[in-house]
């Protein structure tokens, strides 16, 4: 390698290690991760990686990258601390290894779907405080979806399409707001596109979000007066739970919300309808520990 080439490589020094979610081949990820790590830390080597991962052979990673050896589930798990992966990133890497090495067509397709879901769950834009007006009315949230997938262009048609229906004037105001906040963008043909595929609240005032949730709960309450159709599913469960398990239930609800976002983001069929999914948990009693501390 010439000195000039070495200088160019130094100028191209990466600011950080590559993100695992950008890959659909674990060998490509490992190769580029190792190359970036060597630029960031000249002392880093295959031997260093092997020591951190607990591998006996210092050449193991090199052989995996070159396709001469495969990663088992156990060796993939050992790689996680050496790669600095945890949480969803660790899960993604483990699935990525299985996908890259799977030969069965159906199993490979299922693994790819899981990878795409995890990718999609991260492609979510946080709405900032300057855009908080978006969350002030359920109509804004519904129309952002309808404007993009329905193909309807007139406010009158969108107003009739909504359930419950809205007034055309309300739809006009909402569409203008969505454009002003840059949450949708209008194409030359009059149709709309998303500015971002998925949104979630960022630094939004809690009372604004509570107001929107209240509106959605009232819409669900209205649905209870009608016969339940295939697009409606309202169920509940009442349980007693320990404080430790209560936190797990919250985690399940949060994970379910993210999975619904990912599931719809990877939907290959054209959208047909907008639905609201409420995931609710609230107490029907005081905490026994708090009750006893107050009442002796």
Is the model more confident about 203 or about 46? 46
Q: What percent of the chain is modeled with pLDDT above 90?
A: 49
Domain of 174, CATH number, reads 1.10.10
Which residue(s) pair with 126 in the sheet?
A: 200
End-to-end CA distance of the chain: 78
How far, in Å, CA of 113 to CA of 128, rounded?
30
Assess whether 97 and 135 both reside in one domain: no
Condensed to tens digits (0 to 9), the pLDDT of residues 254-290 reads: 888 878 877 887 777 888 999 999 998 989 888 888 8
pLDDT of residue 123: 64
Taking residues 79-108, what's their average pLDDT?
Answer: 92
Assess whether 147 and 205 both reside in one domain: yes
Of the candidates 74, 26, 27, the one whose C-alpha atom is nearest the C-alpha of residue 53 is: 74
Taking residues 189-193, what's their average pLDDT?
Answer: 87
Q: Is residue 133 part of a domain?
A: yes
Assess whether 100 and 162 both reside in one domain: no
pLDDT of residue 124: 65
Q: What percent of the chain is modeled with pLDDT above 70?
A: 93
pLDDT at 3 over 70: no
pLDDT at 24 over 70: yes
Picking from 113-122, 156-165, 207-216, 232-241, which range would have the lowest pLDDT averaged per residue? 113-122
How far, in Å, CA of 115 to CA of 96, rounded?
7
Assess whether 118 and 129 both reside in one domain: no
Q: Is residue 290 part of a domain?
A: no
Picking from 10-24, 51-65, 91-105, which range would have the lowest pLDDT averaged per residue? 10-24
Condensed to tens digits (0 to 9), the pLDDT of residues 125-171 reads: 677 778 889 999 999 999 999 999 998 889 999 999 999 999 999 99
How far, in Å, CA of 53 to CA of 78, rounded?
5
Q: Is residue 144 part of a domain?
A: yes
209 C-beta neighbours (distance < 10 Å), count: 13
Assess whether 113 and 211 both reside in one domain: no
- Which residue segment(s) compose the domain that 104 sits in? 12-122
Mean of per-residue pLDDT scores for the chain: 86
Condensed to tens digits (0 to 9), the pLDDT of residues 231-244 reads: 898 889 999 999 88
pLDDT at 15 over 60: no
Picking from 44-58, 77-91, 127-141, which range would have the lowest pLDDT averaged per residue? 127-141
Domains in the chain: how many in total?
Answer: 2
Picking from 71-75, 120-124, 189-193, 284-288, which range would have the lowest pLDDT averaged per residue? 120-124
Q: Do 182 and 176 contact (CB within 8 A), yes or no?
A: no
Please state the pTM of the whole predicted model: 0.63
pLDDT at 27 over 80: yes
Taking residues 206-219, what's their average pLDDT?
Answer: 91
Q: Is residue 37 part of a domain?
A: yes
Q: Is residue 291 part of a domain?
A: no
């Amino acid at each position: 390698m010439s000195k000039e080439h070495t200088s160019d490589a130094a100028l191209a020094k990466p600011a950080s290690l590559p993100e695992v979610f950008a890959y659909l081949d674990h060998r490509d990820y490992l190769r580029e991760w190792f190359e970036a790590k060597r630029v960031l830390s000249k002392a880093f080597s295959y031997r260093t990686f092997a020591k951190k991962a607990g591998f006996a052979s210092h050449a193991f990673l090199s052989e995996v990258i070159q396709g001469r050896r495969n990663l088992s589930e156990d060796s993939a798990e050992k790689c996680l601390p050496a790669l600095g992966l945890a949480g969803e990133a660790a899960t993604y890497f483990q699935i990525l290894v299985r996908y890259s090495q799977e030969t069965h067509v159906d199993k490979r397709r299922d693994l790819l779907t899981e990878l795409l879901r995890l990718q999609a769950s991260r492609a979510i834009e946080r709405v900032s405080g300057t855009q908080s007006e978006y969350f002030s009315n359920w109509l804004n949230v519904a129309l952002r979806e309808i404007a993009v997938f329905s193909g309807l262009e007139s406010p009158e048609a969108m107003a009739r399409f909504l359930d419950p229906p809205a007034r055309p004037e309300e739809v006009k105001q909402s569409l203008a707001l969505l454009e002003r906040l840059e949450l949708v963008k209008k194409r030359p043909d009059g149709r709309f596109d998303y500015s971002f595929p998925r949104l979630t609240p960022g630094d939004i005032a809690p009372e604004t979000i509570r107001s929107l949730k209240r509106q959605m709960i009232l819409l669900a309450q209205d649905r209870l007066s009608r016969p339940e159709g295939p697009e409606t599913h309202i169920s509940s469960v009442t349980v007693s739970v320990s404080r430790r398990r209560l936190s797990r239930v919250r985690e399940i609800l949060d994970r379910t919300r993210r999975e619904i976002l990912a599931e719809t983001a990877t939907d290959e069929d054209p959208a047909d309808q907008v639905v609201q999914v409420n995931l609710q948990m609230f107490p029907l009693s005081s905490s026994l520990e708090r009750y006893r501390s107050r009442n002796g």
